[in-house]
Amino acid sequence: MADEIQELSASAAAAAIADGGLARAELFEHYRARAAGDELNAFTWVAEQPPAPVEGPLSGVPVAVKDLFCTEGIPSQAGSKILAGYCPPYTATAVANLEAAGAPVLGKTNQDEFAMGSSNENSAFGPVLNPWDHSRVPGGSSGGSAAAVAAGLAPWALGTDTGGSIRQPAALCGIVGLKPTYGAVSRYGMIAFASSLDSAGPLTRDVADAALFYRHLVGRDSADATSVAFPEAIEIPTGERLDGITLAVPTGLVDGEGIEAGVRESFEASLETARSLGATIVGCEIPSARYALSAYYVIAPAEASSNLARFDGVRYGLRVEEGRLDEMYTETRHDGFGAEVKRRILIGTYALSSGYYDAYYGRAQRVRTVVARELGAIFESADFIVTPTSPTVAFGLGDRTADPLSMYLSDLFTIPMSLAGTPAISIPSGLSEGLPVGLQICGPAFSENRILGAAHALEQAIGFDGSPARGGAS
Amino acid sequence: MIDRDELLHVARLARLALHEDELDATAAELSSILEHVAVIEELDLEGVEPTAHIGDVSDSLRADTARPSLPRDVALAPAPAVRDDGFLVPSPQGE
């Protein structure tokens, strides 16, 4: 029975519970036991008991929640020493929406500190291991969520994406990850990194699971003034063809340096698959793409330097006792934040400081306008932009920690969509050297239904087998 | 691009202590990042408006009605130090 439960997708498990073939308690205990026995360091907290059942369309299928989300009475530490042991007095709207739809919280997942990183190595609670190869990173910053789903320690997971933090770990772990249109999911209770970019979304085994999860995640929230009502119901995709669909490939970007041959091969094979399903492939250019990365690494740290000012040892979290108030602030932040977080706070503070604001933050915001315009122009004649999600497969633990810039390059393909606020999904396109490669499909704002539809058709045709990461199909 | 004095100035603005043995390495890392992001200087952005935020958030006021908020004891519970229903902090002047 355990193996049968393990092989069920989240949607299939929900259906099995709804029709009486599977007991809620049995499903919860199956995943609770697996999460508690986690050898990947994917979880930072696991429930000991299932919470009181809530009737709803998600039927008790448990969800792993990235530790960036506040969960009432449950540790919410954002991968940071400065929040070690912190149990918030309220729950984030995204989590509350899933709970209200019937999905209990299974556990909290490890992440790069305050979602700053692309390898999950910037966590105060230690790195997460990639289930496909334990000597490699799972990607980040939602690395714990991605590894937990890929390894079958959770049926699905909630993550966040500011510059690629859902899509890139989904790609490196061989699962599906959806970054929504900016504002479609409430940010209330999601510990803020870069408020104009942060978005919450699903990490799942397949595209249908992503659609079901996302259906219950979206919605306007009076507690988040930037949230918007999704203009249509999220549908569960069933299509298997791409007739009449035009996919645009940003040629200059995809042919650039730094892209592994195996990734390129897998990407080209998926384009062939798309063609065989009826799609038309055209070339396009995003001339601002290389500037987008730089603009992002000004805008995100600038917003972070402001958001992270709240961690000062007064209201929650770590306090380092020193003589005067200002010394308490500065020493608490010195001891509580990790190296990458400090770097970004300093870069952001510098970029916003008198004399540099126009040269850095002002210019970066103008680059952002250019990026959004360029993507918009492509969508006038194409349905989707497609790229590899990450230029490389999962890299080795420690390979990029010495050079922050080499880590930043992981986000080359995911950042333009973050700056433009447009939705994008990563689905597995195959393996290179035995490790998963991700395909990114991006559409205009609020095109999630169409993205999920195209992703489903490609997923069915590609037929990726993620079971090796779960310890084999057994 | 960033020297020690400038770094210490920025760290003060950020309320972040940097210890003596951290200064040189941090200055070097920040300089290399700033050098990389400086490519945005190449772009001709004449006449391009800045984007602070995607989407329209101009009309998002809710009704001005009173509703319950977190009880004081619940809001104070995670604080490192509390006295008389408030957050307790060290004196700005020292002991």
Interface contacts A/B by beta carbons within 8 Å: 168
Q: Residue A444 CB: number of other CB atoms within 10 A?
A: 19
Q: Is residue A391 part of a domain?
A: yes
pLDDT digit string, tens, across residues B8-24: 999 999 999 999 999 99
**Average pLDDT, stretch A17-29?**
96
Helix/strand/coil for A435: strand
One domain for residues A361 and A386: no
CATH code of residue A159: 3.90.1300.10
One domain for residues A120 and A214: yes
One domain for residues A322 and A406: no
Q: Give the residue from A368, A388, A414 where a domain finishes.
A: A368
Question: Percentage of chain A surpassing pLDDT 70?
Answer: 99
Q: Give the residue from A348, A368, A388 where a domain finishes.
A: A368
One domain for residues A303 and A227: no
Point out the catalytic residue in the list A66, A81, A108, A179. A66
One domain for residues A325 and A414: no
The nearest CA of chain A is from the CA of B34 a distance in Å of: 8
Domain count along chain A = 2
Q: Is residue A273 part of a domain?
A: no
Q: Are residues B17 and A362, on separate chains, in Cβ contact within 8 Å?
A: no
Domain boundaries, chain B: 4-41
Which chain B residue is nearest to residue A297, measuring alpha carbons?
B37
One domain for residues A316 and A337: yes
pLDDT band at B63 (very low <50, low <70, confident <90, very high): confident
**Annotated catalytic residue A141:** yes
Tokens of B60: 């998002």
Give bridge partners of residue A18 from the DSSP assignment: none
Q: Is residue A278 part of a domain?
A: no
Q: Give the residue from A346, A368, A390 where a domain finishes.
A: A368
Q: Residue A57 CB: number of other CB atoms within 10 A?
A: 13
Q: Is residue A303 part of a domain?
A: yes
Q: Considering chain B, what is the average pLDDT of its residues?
A: 91
Do A105 and A65 contact (CB within 8 A), yes or no? yes
Residues of A in contact with B18 (CB under 8 A): 334
The nearest CA of chain B is from the CA of A132 a distance in Å of: 32
Residues 6+ apart with CB under 8 A from B84: none
Indicate the helix (H) or strand (E) that contains B48. none
One domain for residues A65 and A197: yes
The identity of residue A306, as a single letter, is S
Q: Are residues A359 and B11, on separate chains, in Cβ contact within 8 Å?
A: no
One domain for residues A306 and A412: no
Q: Is residue A373 part of a domain?
A: no
**Annotated catalytic residue A165:** yes
pLDDT band at A393 (very low <50, low <70, confident <90, very high): very high
ipTM of this complex prediction, to 2 decimal places: 0.95
Q: Is residue A271 part of a domain?
A: no
Domain that holds residue A440: 2-249+378-465
Q: Is residue A69 part of a domain?
A: yes
Among B26, B42, B90, whose Cβ lies nearest the Cβ of A323?
B90
**Annotated catalytic residue A66:** yes
One domain for residues A39 and A105: yes
One domain for residues A359 and A439: no
One domain for residues A220 and A188: yes
pLDDT given at position B12: 97
The nearest CA of chain A is from the CA of B10 a distance in Å of: 6
One domain for residues A86 and A14: yes
Q: Is the pLDDT of residue B60 over 80?
A: no
Q: Are residues B40 and A337, on separate chains, in Cβ contact within 8 Å?
A: no
pLDDT digit string, tens, across residues A231-264: 999 999 999 999 999 999 999 988 887 899 999 9
Q: Considering chain A, what is the average pLDDT of its residues?
A: 96
Residues of A in contact with B70 (CB under 8 A): 89-90
